[in-house]
């Protein structure tokens, strides 16, 4: 029986991959970071392996993973986030005998770095937000005069190998006073990137490519976002915009992409768009792509293990995908922003309450609630009070510090 080892535990991308490959008759082994993750409760998980944290001791992590791989014969290793991708990329020589669904090192060097991605886009003619690295001699006046307000200030890399336990988030600063406070609070400006905030809808173009040529593409629009980084709690599938496809194709070709990627855009009311970033891994909205008909995890397995490339498949347009707990939290936060947003919050709450009817009518799918695999959803509900308590603690932190925390996309 074919067998895959998936690294991660997210209740969106990882759970979707577990279900996709499990339904295809592939034995799925899981190496989670959170051993209590609801994803471990999926009926499609054949085994859970408790590997140590790489950040705690890289040598121990390498040795235990190597021991596991010597015991088990996996057809594919599938890292689903930077916390596993970066260590595997750094130690490719230790796992040269394994098939790893990981783009080439040079590809990751560009796509995992927001400034290098911006530089590539400038050469390719792909539009990005006005922005630049933050310099040591910058002050509030220089940044605001050049880039305006609001500003997004972010690290060029979401994760760094030296500290995989902490995700580098995005800070939105709306006033000169907030810029001043941010610059005074950061210990170093090295690796910081400032961009003018581009107002518009978040769009995602998901792709699978081989040798830089895209074989599968899927587009969605975010209807409910969970933070400045564009993470979504509610999204809808839509037809592919040829301009976005052309931009993604140019980036894939220039980097020689082998594998999957999420190319994130924003589009304003006039139709103008900019590229936000590229994540060369499975993405949070993956359940919607699979439900709409583009089974990226299975196609990725076929590409790496069987050398098979499928032609572009048709997919359903207009299907909504919702993450139950994230959307409930997003609605609660909309209420907290004040009476001016209550109408929007009530509208979203009405849609939230209509989920069972939307499921029955086939208009919407849930990331976690799936009839043939209820274990993760039930585990998520049991953990809901603890998740709410953790979020309440985070809300009690100083505002600027809180907004600087990483958000899962």
Q: What is the pLDDT of residues 310-353, one digit of tens each?
A: 999 999 999 999 998 888 878 888 888 778 778 888 888 888 88
Distances (CA, A) of 268 to 33, 56, 62, 179, 275: 37, 43, 46, 25, 12
Give pLDDT tens digits for 218-245.
999 999 776 544 468 899 999 999 999 9
Give me the mean pLDDT over the 127-143 stretch.
96
- The pLDDT assigned to 409 comes to 37
How far apart (Å, rounded) are the C-alpha atoms in residues 130 and 118? 10
- The pLDDT assigned to 29 comes to 98
Give pLDDT tens digits for 196-222.
999 999 999 999 999 999 999 999 999
- The pLDDT assigned to 58 comes to 95
| Token pair in block for residue 240 | 């592919």
Q: What share of the chain is helix, strand, coil (3-state, %, to 5)?
A: 40, 25, 35
- The pLDDT assigned to 404 comes to 42
- The pLDDT assigned to 407 comes to 38
How far apart (Å, rounded) are the C-alpha atoms in residues 300 and 307? 10
- Return the closest-CA partner of residue 132 out of 107, 153, 161: 153
Helix residue spans in 43-175 (DSSP H): 58-71, 82-90, 105-111, 114-124, 140-147
Q: Identify the band that residue 393 occupies on the pLDDT scale cut at 50, 70 and 90.
A: low
| Token pair in block for residue 409 | 């996309």
Give pLDDT tens digits for 263-300.
999 999 999 999 999 999 999 999 999 999 999 999 99
- The pLDDT assigned to 325 comes to 82
- The pLDDT assigned to 344 comes to 81
Length in residues, the chain: 409
CB 200 within 8 A of CB 265: no
End-to-end CA distance of the chain: 33
- The pLDDT assigned to 144 comes to 96
Pairing relation of β-strands 151-155 and 192-196? antiparallel
Instruction: Report phi then psi at 155, rounded to 5.
Output: -75, 145
CB 83 within 8 A of CB 164: yes
| Token pair in block for residue 210 | 């081989």
How far apart (Å, rounded) are the C-alpha atoms in residues 404 and 19? 33
- Return the closest-CA partner of residue 125 out of 250, 289, 33, 298: 250
Give pLDDT tens digits for 109-130.
999 999 999 999 999 999 999 9
Instruction: Report phi then psi at 345, rounded to 5.
Output: -65, -40
Give me the mean pLDDT over the 386-399 stretch.
56
CB 376 within 8 A of CB 28: no
Enter the DSSP assignment of 25: T
Provide DSSP, 82-100. Answer: HHHHHHHHHTGGGGTTS-B
Task: Answer left, alpha or beta for residue 221, where phi above 0 means left and psi between -120 and 50 means alpha.
Answer: beta
- The pLDDT assigned to 392 comes to 57
Give me the mean pLDDT over the 32-61 stretch.
95
pLDDT score of 405 more than 60: no
For a pLDDT cut of 90, what percent of the chain falls above it?
78
Give pLDDT tens digits for 357-366.
998 889 999 9
What 3-state DSSP class applies to 30? strand
Q: Identify the band that residue 391 occupies on the pLDDT scale cut at 50, 70 and 90.
A: low
- The pLDDT assigned to 387 comes to 64
Give me the mean pLDDT over the 96-115 stretch.
98
Check residues 350 and 6 and name the one with the higher pLDDT.
6
CB 379 within 8 A of CB 41: yes
Helix residue spans in 231-323 (DSSP H): 242-255, 286-292, 296-301
What 3-state DSSP class applies to 143? helix
pLDDT score of 54 more than 90: yes
Check residues 255 and 409 and name the one with the higher pLDDT.
255
- The pLDDT assigned to 400 comes to 45
pLDDT score of 406 more than 50: no
**pTM summary value:** 0.92
How far apart (Å, rounded) are the C-alpha atoms in residues 376 and 180? 44
């Amino acid at each position: 029986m074919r067998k895959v080892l998936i690294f991660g535990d997210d209740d969106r991308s990882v759970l979707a991959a577990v279900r996709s490959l499990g339904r295809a008759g592939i034995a799925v082994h899981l190496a989670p970071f959170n051993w209590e993750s609801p994803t471990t409760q999926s009926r499609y998980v054949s085994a859970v392996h408790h590997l140590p944290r790489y950040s705690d001791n890289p040598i121990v992590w390498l040795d235990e993973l190597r021991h596991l791989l010597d015991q088990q014969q996996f057809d594919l290793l599938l890292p689903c986030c930077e916390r596993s991708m970066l260590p595997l990329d750094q130690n490719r020589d230790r796992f040269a005998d394994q098939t790893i669904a990981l783009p080439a090192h040079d590809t990751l060097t560009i796509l995992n770095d927001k400034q290098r991605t911006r530089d590539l886009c400038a050469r390719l003619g792909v539009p990005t937000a006005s922005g630049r690295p933050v310099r040591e001699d910058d002050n509030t006046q220089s940044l605001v005069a050049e880039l305006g307000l609001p500003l997004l200030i972010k690290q060029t890399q979401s994760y760094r190998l030296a500290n995989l336990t902490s995700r580098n988030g995005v800070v939105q600063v709306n006033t000169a006073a907030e810029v001043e406070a941010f610059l005074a609070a950061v210990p170093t400006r090295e690796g910081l990137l400032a961009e003018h905030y581009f107002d518009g809808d978040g769009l995602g173009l998901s792709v699978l490519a081989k040798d830089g040529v895209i074989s599968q593409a899927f587009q969605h629009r975010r209807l409910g976002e969970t933070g400045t980084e564009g993470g979504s709690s509610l999204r809808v599938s839509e037809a592919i915009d040829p301009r976005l496809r052309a931009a993604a194709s140019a980036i894939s070709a220039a980097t020689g992409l082998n594998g999957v990627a999420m190319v994130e855009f924003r589009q304003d009311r006039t139709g103008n768009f900019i590229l936000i970033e590229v994540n060369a891994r499975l993405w949070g909205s993956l359940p919607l792509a699979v439900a709409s008909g583009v089974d990226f995890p299975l196609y990725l397995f076929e590409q790496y293990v069987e050398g098979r490339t499928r032609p572009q498949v048709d997919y359903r347009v207009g299907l909504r995908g919702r993450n139950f707990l994230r959307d409930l939290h997003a609605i609660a936060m909309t209420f907290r922003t004040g009476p001016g947003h209550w109408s929007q919050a009530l509208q979203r709450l009405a849609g939230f309450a209509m989920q069972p009817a939307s499921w029955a009518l086939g208009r919407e799918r849930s990331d976690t609630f799936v009839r043939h695999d209820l274990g993760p959803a039930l585990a998520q509900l049991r953990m809901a009070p603890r998740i709410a308590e953790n979020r309440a603690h985070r809300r009690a932190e100083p505002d600027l510090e809180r907004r600087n925390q990483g958000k899962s996309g």
